Structures are given as structure tokens and as C-alpha cells.
Chains A and B, each alone.
Chain A
Amino acid sequence: MNPCEYTSSIKSFPVVFKCEKKDARCGYHKRGQRYDFSGLTSGSLCPEAYHNLYYLTLGILFKSKFKDKELIVKCPGAKNYVVFKVGSDKLNFRFKVLNIVKWIFFRFYPGQIYAGRLFWEVVKTVGECSQHHVVGDRFYVNKGSFQLTPDLLFSLGEPSGLCPAVFDNFFPYLYSWYVEKGFPYSNGSCDLIQCPDHKANITFKIEKDSR
């Protein structure tokens, strides 16, 4: 199982992710929300590349100071591969307003105050990319929406895809989930997997897409 084969394998058995449980504030998901394969990543970004990119993305969003050289990331392909570089666009009006509100209440409700709209751009391709990425392609990191009530989110103009942290948490298990017909602990019951946030406890049910 080499890179690229992993993606083509998981693409061959379309799955649906359904948000089953939500215990606390989360700007990404509502209970009952469903995602198919296209909602896994930002745009048509290769999921294997996205897994590599997320390793640094979280830190960038939380103001880590990585060296410039570290912010160039390649996908895991050995012969054919794609190289990405981080970039930042101006925030839209909604995010700017939200930043002001967050700044006022930061002492009481600390949260991320974004400086820009983060994206990864393809800067080099070697060989043929199975996901057809070409130099100049940009993929924006989904920063979610603003939660008004647990099941009512106010869109900030981001794509309505999966939370990147949830993706990173279960992407490595997708192939084994398919081969072994479920997670080991499922034992015939629902196939559930949860996000890394222990307060929000967003739990997803994964099932085969029957469409």
C-alpha cells in the first residue's frame, strides 16, 4: 500500500460521515450533518497530502513560529509527488468583525484570532499526480463557522467541509475500516470515531454510501 494507492482505495468504497454526537461548542458541525467523500478535504485536495499538511496547519493557526523551510511540505509520494507552500489571504468582512468581538472578550473567552485566510498552494509537481494537482492550485484551510446555538451555525464564508482535526484523527484508519469491515471496538454496532477535542466530543458515524 503506497501513497496514491491509499487514496484510490478509499475512493473506491465511498463512505458517508454523520455527526452523531456533540457535547460542547464547535463551529464546524451540527448534529445529524452528513458528509460524503468530497467533504473530507478542502476542494479536491488529495487526502494524503492534506494529512501531511495538517501536521503544521494546526500550529500555524495557533501562531506557532515555524521556520520558513519547515513551511514547505511534500505529499508522501516517493516517485511522483506534489510540493505545497503555505500562504495567507486577507480575511473577509465577517471574519474581521468576529475578530473584533473575540479581541474584546478574549480575557474571558479566549479563542483564535485569525490574522489571515490560510491556504496551501502547489508550488511544484514531480511526475504525474493522481489527483491532478498542478502548480498554482490553492486549497484554503476550513476555519469553520460561528456557532449561535449547538445546531445553528452562522457561516463565515468557509466551505462546509469536515473539521481538519476530525479528518486528521480518522483518515489513517479509513483503509483498515474498509478492509476489516469496521473498527475493532464496533463489534457489529455503529462504527464511531471521535474528534480530538475532549469537550466537544464530536463523534462521527461512518457507513458505506449506499447511493
Chain B
Amino acid sequence: MTQACFKLENINVEVKSIKGKCKACFCVGDNFSLETIIPKGLCPFLYHTALPYLAAIENGAVFNLLEKNFMIAQCPNPKVGVAVKIQEGKEKEIKISVVDPHTKKSSCSYYHFESGNNWVVPRGKNFFCRRAFDSIFPYLNALSAQVRACAKGEHISIMTCSAYPDFVTFRLTAL
């Protein structure tokens, strides 16, 4: 078994245009690297898996009895299977924390996960919109694969976030 896992290449995310008013306060011409989009030290693939759970819990989802209203999600790699707990904290902050290490089947080769590691997922205007990240994620992977395969042509993707009627158009460019 190889230790390699999914990987994203160096891709620039640019706000190409905005229709209407963007709730996340993006401005045309804003540029983001992947390091600024994903919480530091958190695997982007695990982050993508957690996104629908984050949106749900942030908006009052009832996953379980109130005293243990959390969800556990795991990364898509069955040879690693890092599992994280997603819950709302005492001050209404949304937390992602790594659960017991024995749920892992082998070590993650890129990120150092320990039981108790946690990330407070920022809300509000000073962070890259999670809903937008979810929308662009398949194209980040596709573009990365094209770069690695040295496919011909420009490595650019253009897509929008999923909001409507106000939405943001992004341009992804492989660097």
C-alpha cells in the first residue's frame, strides 16, 4: 500500500464576477490560495466531507438527543479513515475535533492528526465562504488531476457558487 492520498495542486482561486450582492463580501479581483481557504492543518478532503454537516449544525440540525447533538464524519480514504466530530460549542461556535485515534486504520501521510485536535470553524465575512468552497471543490480536484497528467491546454476552470439570485463566479487557475 502506498502512503499517498488525494492531493490538490497549487491553484489560485479568483473572484471573477459578482451578480447582485455577495453575502460573504467577496470583491471582484480577490485572490485566494488553498492555504487561506482551508483551516490550517485540516485536510481539504476531510474538510469537504464535513461541509454539509457544518452547514446543518450551524443552522440548528437535530442529529441526536440534545445532550449529544453531534455528528461524526470520516475522510473518504478507507485506508486511513480519519474521523472527526462536528458539533456546536458552548458559545455557538462550530467545532471539528478528531475523535479517538483507534478509529484510524493507518496513519494519514500528510496531516498529523491526534485525538483531541480541534478546529473552530470561522463564521462571518472574514473567511472564505464554505458553500462556495463546496461548489468549487470537484473542479479543484479535476484541475489538479489535469496538471499532474500534463494535459494539454490552459488549466483554467470557471464556475459559480450555488447561491441564487446573487452569486459569485470564480476562476480557478493552476499555478
Contacts and interface: CB of A to CB of B under 8 A. Distances in A.
A55 B161 CA distance: 12
Interface in A51-108: 51-59, 62-66, 70, 72-78, 81, 83, 107
A149 to B, nearest CB: 23
B160 interface: yes
A83 B19 CA distance: 15
Interface residues of B, number: 63
Interface in B133-157: 134-146, 148-149, 151, 157
Name which of B48, B163, B164 has the most chain A CB atoms within 10 A of its CB: B164
A6 B146 CA distance: 12
B157 A172 contact: no
A154 interface: no
B64 interface: yes
A55 B52 contact: yes
Contact of A6 (B65, B138, B165): B138
Interface in B1-16: 1-7
B63 interface: yes
Contacts of A64: 55-61
Nearest to A178: B145
B1 A55 contact: no
Interface in B54-86: 55-65, 72-74, 76-81, 83
A58 B160 contact: no
Given A74-B167, A180-B148, A58 B56 contact: yes
Contact of B149 (A73, A81, A179): A179
A28 interface: no
A187 to B, nearest CB: 4
B63 A62 contact: yes
Given A1-B143, A172-B138, A62 B74 contact: no
A192 interface: yes
B115 interface: no
Nearest to B144: A176
A13 interface: no
Interface in B109-127: none
B162 interface: yes
Contact of A52 (B53, B145, B162): B162
A48 B63 CA distance: 26
Contacts of A186: 2
14 contacts: A65-B59, A73-B162, A74-B160, A76-B159, A78-B159, A172-B48, A184-B7, A185-B2, A187-B4, A189-B1, A192-B79, A193-B78, A201-B74, A203-B78
